[in-house]
């Protein structure tokens, strides 16, 4: 996929831009990550814009597990604070999606597939963009919408080293989790997205 200039898209004009992402476990300046979301009566739309001058992706395979060895953005959704269950969408710059169902703590079902989701991606002049939509029916079927609200975690994995023996990351989050060690799979990593007018 070649690098492209992403033109202004009026579709996103009314979306609030969340840019207050942090390095919860590093003291240095965090690279820019911007998240936007919108919805209509049928779909929840999302978009990540990422500044990254050194993008790392594992190429040569369409296997969704390759996302784990690549730069990526992530959305987690949970149906309750006990995270019984919760759902992960981890998406890389090539548009591959690692989707899974999980239960606290870190009990993953990677065979699970999210029905009702579309994801696209593009390289930009200074990073990459991932955007997509999820049907509201699928969110409702998983009991993820309550009082027009979504309990969600928004994250980014910045790959800093990729060798045949090891892949290492710095982790970026919208909410600062209450953990001394890098971990997004805990209740304190989640915030709330409000679906106004639904």
- Model confidence pLDDT, tens digit, residues 20-57: 999 999 999 999 999 999 999 999 999 999 999 999 99
Q: Distance between CA atoms of 121 and 135, rounded to whole angstroms?
A: 18
What is the pairing mode between strands 107-109 and 97-103? antiparallel
Q: Distance between CA atoms of 76 and 132, rounded to whole angstroms?
A: 14
Whole-number Cα distances in Å, 104 to 16, 82, 187, 190, 193: 30, 7, 9, 13, 21
DSSP characters over 70-87:
S-EEEEEEESSTT-SSEE
Residue 1 has pLDDT above 60, yes or no: no
pLDDT given at position 2: 42
Taking only the tens place, the pLDDT of each residue in 112-147 is: 999 999 999 999 999 999 999 999 999 999 999 999
Residue 90 has pLDDT above 60, yes or no: yes
Whole-number Cα distances in Å, 122 to 94, 130, 146: 7, 7, 32
pLDDT given at position 8: 56
Q: Distance between CA atoms of 80 and 85, rounded to whole angstroms?
A: 7
List domains and CATH numbers for the chain. 16-194 (2.60.40.1190)
């Amino acid at each position: 996929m070649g690098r492209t200039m992403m033109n202004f898209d009026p579709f996103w004009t009314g979306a609030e831009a969340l840019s207050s992402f942090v390095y919860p476990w590093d003291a240095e300046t965090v690279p820019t990550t911007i998240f936007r979301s919108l919805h209509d009566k049928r779909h929840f739309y999302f978009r990540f814009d990422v500044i990254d001058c050194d993008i790392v992706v594992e190429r040569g395979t369409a296997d969704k597990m390759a996302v784990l060895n690549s730069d990526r953005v992530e959305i987690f959704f949970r149906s309750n604070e006990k995270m019984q269950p919760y759902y992960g969408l981890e998406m890389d710059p090539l548009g591959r999606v690692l989707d899974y169902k999980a239960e606290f703590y870190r009990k993953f079902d990677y065979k699970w597939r999210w029905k009702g989701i579309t994801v696209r991606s593009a390289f930009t002049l200074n990073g990459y963009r991932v955007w997509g939509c999820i049907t509201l029916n699928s969110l409702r079927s998983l009991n993820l919408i309550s009082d027009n609200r979504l309990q969600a975690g928004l994250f980014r994995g910045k790959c800093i080293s990729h060798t045949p023996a090891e892949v290492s990351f710095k982790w970026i989050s919208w909410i600062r989790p209450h953990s001394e060690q890098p971990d997004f799979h805990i209740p304190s990593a989640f915030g709330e997205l409000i679906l106004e007018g639904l």
